[in-house]
Structure 1
């Protein structure tokens, strides 16, 4: 049985293994967290019901966590909160343990994850690309399997863009459904606390714990008419410029919905994209100055140490926006919202790509304002229009995650999540060792709904080592020249299953991209180089199974008679 203590120890081991210090602003001392975990395990053993016991989470650095400074990504802004923010307090009361606070675009101003004196947060899957902001650290901590879920905030898309870039789920609830007290505001009238998780059920469970009775009267939502899901989509010609392959990936999701029986119809996205441009280009950005403008002005006067120049420029420029412009923009926004809702009509949701592309660190550095503005094309209008949204993985383009959003009216959060479940894609996983068919850890794959796709080999770029682990398993390491082709099984499994598998992955194993014989690169099991110091190089066998049978032949007179057993037809781990 997995205990909270063992989960905490695995989290800290994962922090060390991933070596991504830019994810964190402050981590709680390990001894303190383990003591809290032991207390929780004792409470569970005594019969107390704690629905989130055994889960660890992180909170974005603009959310109050008692015992840690709240920085909002600016060291000199830091203050010591007297108590947890209500969302953190509710999660802890349900048995979840907070590990620390995560890095963000300073004052939650940005969608890139690079605007921080604590360092640029890189994508979990491609360190040359941005992790997405402003909730960058939270999303990457989830994607790397360090925490089970994490809290972000979303004003312009910060709870969804990082989810798309890192292949995870991002829930942006209806404004007011989750309390925003104890959160440093970006734009207080628009801000939402959000949840990142590797699977939709995990995100929903955390959101349910955080949610409170609505702080305003529920709208009179008509009951949904019987029939298939009704989904509004955007024709390719009206999506605007997208990265290569992204329009095709979006259309594939639309086709998947139609094949599943959804009623799909095209709409004009103009009111959504026009409103999106208003969030930063219009008067609404003045609310960012209301939140922290006085502090920023004072810090600039003192030399500006620790201020991100891009963030400082955005906030200080908002100081001089005249009041009459805000009233004009509010009137224009009301008109655009009416047009947008008319376009949606009776649709349950609008399906959109979460972002138009995934920029590199270099591209953002070369054009920080332009790159950021492009990322908000589809997300910026959601809170302005008072809508709910869920961002989910929807496949890959050139080996990187591709994500989509479902956007719907306020308080249709559960409906959007139900519709999102029909979008869950499959992913491929390269297996070379203890998860192979017939090997000791293969039941883990079967329990996640995985099925064997094919048997092949890696490209001749790898070496295989027998690690000193229990159960025995190999370590696959990319070496390039001097490598060999290693027998590989390719399995297909639900995307959320891959997330759960990553969370269970012990050191020294890691998940990375494995190049196969046909040149394709898919996720697969690799290992940390440090684990090879006392490990036997078994590359000459070309296969973990061949090595295992050779070793068995040394100790037993009759080796396995069927070197390539067929996978079981009934995929239940109890049958293994």
Structure 2
């Protein structure tokens, strides 16, 4: 099966070995072979997709085929939210669709979903029930069912979902793909039919974390027309040795195979250098219960209550009962629930003090379609055990594949971190995904190992700078960075091949980093991000024999960084063996630098 991962397609387009017209032909052939229903609600005609391609800007996603959940507006295509009687045809696309098409991506169609984005199962749609790509008898997960299946089946390179309670994560687990749920407000929700407007997120399904990050980079932007849009905020980087939290008690509802796969994920994360810590999940569990048992369900009534009251027969029975049930909550209930949530967020701070991220089962188990139809509310609630709290508590999350049960059904885990740590969290998730033996993308035979790893993107108006000595946190010249609003991105190491010298006669004392091919272990650096103006004024301060060049990091990425002229090392002390400036200083307490 030809891979649809973004890096592969872009390389093919750049080298001429692939033509986007041929890729679109293949996409439509695959859709025809599978059948339009139940994955799609509205399919863009192939001729219209080719017309999009002809007019598409040559942006970072040029020629990349994608799909959107059918509660997200696309100009000229009906938005149904999986309810035919609700349908309307917008003249303008949602903000996120506008940005993706401005980046050159090609919209293929609108995907099936749990009606009005109410459910985690994928069974609540008049357009048919999507099944997992691995079993026609098992649910695909919802509410973004069609988007998860479209990526898992290799019909598009990526797809948009929405995620209020886990809808961008559960379908990822059940279709062996990645589900990125960003910090609330990073991607505009203008033009999205609300579920709970104060909590809704647009999510990304992709075959790899790298692809999901590439889409997030193109899609994320402050939108003044969206009252809930937020500007990115500085976030503490994840340390090299990540403390990852594992709940003291876990519920798998009798699924021993899922429990074993989760345990294996914890072991892989530990083998990658992480430190497992046990934490109390109760504050998070209690917050999760507020989403449907509390007054937030009234937000669903605020979104479509008039329609549900006027045309109750047009709404799925389970969905109708949930939405109209929101009318039983008062304003007093809403305030009391907000107070309770604030208490739980405060209680959770004590647990966050123990850990940098948490690792959870994306869903505790997977159910057959007939089981869900027979018991739709209870089983749906079980699936949200580890997802419902995330947006209420303003956290970022990413779901990744974590292996297969003996019966061939997929399992996934989710990493959760504080708001705005999306990039660093995704890189960690990618490392864990790549540690999974024999990992393939979706239901294909495309090996994950054949795709490039995830890297945090730098915005076009920012520069990343690696510092190695007197500008490190706590060192004498660190203020030159803080004065320019530089943001610490990560603490990491250089690639092998760098040597570090303690220079003589510098005030304050400074080291010199030289790329000479000799150092074997890499040198500790801190990587900062700053705007172009700040970077320019910073470079003007750099004295000889130091200079700013290009430094290769341990993950193979390149950033600007401090280097040293070779002449200055003739009488300098080689301290490469200490692995970094701080380690060398710590080895000589009370002594004056050279």
TM-score, structure 1 length as denominator?
0.71
2:353 to 342, 345, 352: 345
Relative to the length of structure 2, the TM-score reads 0.69
1:456-535 correspondence to structure 2 within 5 Å? 493-494=447-448
Q: 2:91 aligns with which of 50, 69, 82?
A: 82
Aligned residues: 427
Q: 1:36 aligns with which of 42, 45, 52?
A: 52
The alignment's C-alpha RMSD in Å is: 2.2
Cα shift at 1:213: 3.8
Question: Are the counterparts in 2 of residues 148 and 198 from structure 1 also a CA contact under 8 Å?
Answer: yes
| Matches of 1:357 and 1:238, distance apart in 2 | 12
Alpha carbons 1:426, 1:495 under 8 Å: kept: no
2:35 to 19, 24, 27: 19
Q: Distance in 2 between matches of 1:496 and 1:395?
A: 18
Deviation string, structure 1 residues 510-565 (Cα, Å, up to 9, x no partner)? xxxxxxxxxxxxxxxxxxxxxxxxxxxxxxxxxxxxxxxxxxxxxxxxxxxxxxxx
CA distance in 1: counterparts of 2:335 and 2:449, whole angstroms: 45
1:498 Cα deviation after fit: 13
Deviation per CA, 1:252-276, whole angstroms, max 9, x where unpaired?
1111111111111111111111111
Q: 2:371 aligned to 351, 363, 369, which one?
A: 363
Spell out, residue by residue over 1:77-125, the C-alpha distance to the aligned partner (whole angstroms, 9 max, x if none): 1111111111001111111100110010000000000101111111111
| Structure-2 change in CA distance of 1:98 and 1:23 (3 Å) | same
Cα gap change, 1:285 to 1:182, in 2 (>3 Å): same
Question: Aligned residue for 1:228?
Answer: 241
The Cα of 1:348 is off from its aligned counterpart by 2.2
Deviation at 1:426, TM superposition (A): 3.9
Give distance in 2, aligned partners of 1:496 and 1:191: 34
Which consecutive aligned stretches of 4+ in structure 1 deviate over 6 angstroms post-superposition?
Answer: none
TM-fit CA distance, 1:315 = 0.6
1:496-575 equivalences in 2 (<5 Å): none
d(CA) in 1 for partners of 2:308, 2:77: 22
Report if the CA contact (8 A) 1:148-1:197 is conserved. yes
> What's 2:281 paired with?
269
Matched, 1:69 2:85: no
8 A contact 2:222–2:231 mirrored in 1: no
Shift in alpha-carbon separation, 1:336–1:374, aligned structure 2, 3 A: same
- From 293, 308, 311, give the equivalent of 1:281: 293
Deviations 1:14-42 (A, max 9, x none): 001223510111011111112322444xx
Q: Give yes or no for the alignment of 1:117 onto 2:133.
A: no
1:249 equivalent to 2:261? Answer: yes
Distance in structure 2 (CA, Å) of the matches to 1:341 and 1:73: 39
Quote how far apart the aligned CAs of 1:217 are. Answer: 6.2
Asked whether the equivalents of residues 232 and 266 of structure 1 are also in contact (C-alpha less than 8 Å), the reply is yes
Is 1:171–2:184 an aligned residue pair?
no
Cα pair 1:124 1:144 within 8 Å, conserved: yes
Q: Which runs of 5+ in 2 are unaligned?
A: 1-16, 224-228, 454-594
Conserved 8 A contact 1:427-1:492? no
CA distance in 2, matches of 1:421, 1:118: 34
Per-residue CA deviation, residues 393-448 of structure 1 (Å, 9 max, x unaligned), is 0111121111000001100001110110121144549xxxxxxxxxxxxxxx9xx9
How far is the alpha carbon of 1:495 from its aligned partner? Answer: 6.7
Q: CA deviation at 1:494?
A: 3.3
1:349–1:85 Cα change, 3 Å: same
TM-aligned CA deviation for residue 167 of structure 1: 0.3
- Helix, strand or coil at the partner of 1:336: helix
1:405-416 superposed matches below 5 A: 405-416=414-425
